[in-house]
């Protein structure tokens, strides 16, 4: 039986971990290996790692770093950043990761989703879409390359296409709410959940376990991912890696 998952999402930048606010103001929050060891002890459902340099600078994944993190990890791991081929996805899975995420590469060449699903299995293929709410028109627009490039593809239509091509999970990341810790975009979550048959994970906005429970109550079984909530504490955003889950999680 499927159940909701609570997922820390950590951003890799220059070999360290950072946390952003609306995809800006990257603040150093620690060493990735140390974070993996801490989350091991917290017994998290899974951990998502996104390299925000790789795609933006046309870099390939840092396979040595990923292998080192996987060796230390006792929890399911997901990775995104710089993946452009099924062969790279296969290498990441072989190193010990359970999931591989693609974003810009999926929008540029949707066939890659199918190729990855054939190579590593649909359950390991994640399509992550960074979105920003439209200011004048209803709906949301997809952005790539750390929120700098606007895409023409319709969000809901591309979600459906990705699932048809073999994506085992869709992650929706709200740029507007990134690092704000004021709650998820529940209306967006409902729209995507209604549209997508595969598992859905929402990212962007969680500041406490109540926000996660609100998401779960609104859409049912879902992945509730967060960054700031797991690395900051208090009004001055002191760095403290932590993990909490809703008491009524279902």
In sequence order, the 6+-apart residues with CB closer than 8 A to the CB of 196 are 159, 160, 163, 170
In sequence order, the 6+-apart residues with CB closer than 8 A to the CB of 11 are 17, 18, 19, 20, 26, 50, 51, 52, 227
The residue written with tokens 């890799």 in the block is 12
Rounded CA-CA distance 129/142 in Å is 6
Of the CA atoms within 13 Å of residue 27, those in its CB half-sphere come to: 16
Burial label, 13 (beta-carbon count in 10 A; 0-12, 13-18, 19+):
middle
Question: Do the Cβ atoms of 93 and 100 come closer than 8 Å?
Answer: yes
From 130, 176, 217, 247, active-site residue: 130
In sequence order, the 6+-apart residues with CB closer than 8 A to the CB of 38 are 241
Residue 194 structure tokens: 């209604």
Question: Do the Cβ atoms of 138 and 131 come closer than 8 Å?
Answer: no
Residue 45: active-site member? no
Cite the active site residues. 130
């Amino acid at each position: 039986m499927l159940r909701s998952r609570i997922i820390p999402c950590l951003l890799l930048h220059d070999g360290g971990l950072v946390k952003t606010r609306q995809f800006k103001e990257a603040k150093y929050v620690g060493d990735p290996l140390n974070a993996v060891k801490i989350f091991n002890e917290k017994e998290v459902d899974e951990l998502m790692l996104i390299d925000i340099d790789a795609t933006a600078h046309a870099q390939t994944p840092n396979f040595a770093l990923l292998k080192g993190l996987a060796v230390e990890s006792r929890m399911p791991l997901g990775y995104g950043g710089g993946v452009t081929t099924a062969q790279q996805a296969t290498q990441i899975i072989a190193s010990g990761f359970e999931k591989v995420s693609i974003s810009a590469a999926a929008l540029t060449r949707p066939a890659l989703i199918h190729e990855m699903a054939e190579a590593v299995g649909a359950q390991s293929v994640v399509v992550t879409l960074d979105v920003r709410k439209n200011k004048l028109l209803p709906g949301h627009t997809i952005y790539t390359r750390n929120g700098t490039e606007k895409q023409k593809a319709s969000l809901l239509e591309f979600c459906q296409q990705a699932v048809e091509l073999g994506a085992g999970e869709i992650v929706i990341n709200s740029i507007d709410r990134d690092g704000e810790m004021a709650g998820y975009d529940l209306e967006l979550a409902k729209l995507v959940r209604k549209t997508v048959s595969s598992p859905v994970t929402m990212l962007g906005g969680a500041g406490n376990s109540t926000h996660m429970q609100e998401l779960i109550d609104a859409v049912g079984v879902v992945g509730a991912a967060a960054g700031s909530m797991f690395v900051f504490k208090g009004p001055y955003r002191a760095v403290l890696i932590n993990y909490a889950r809703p008491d009524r999680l279902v």
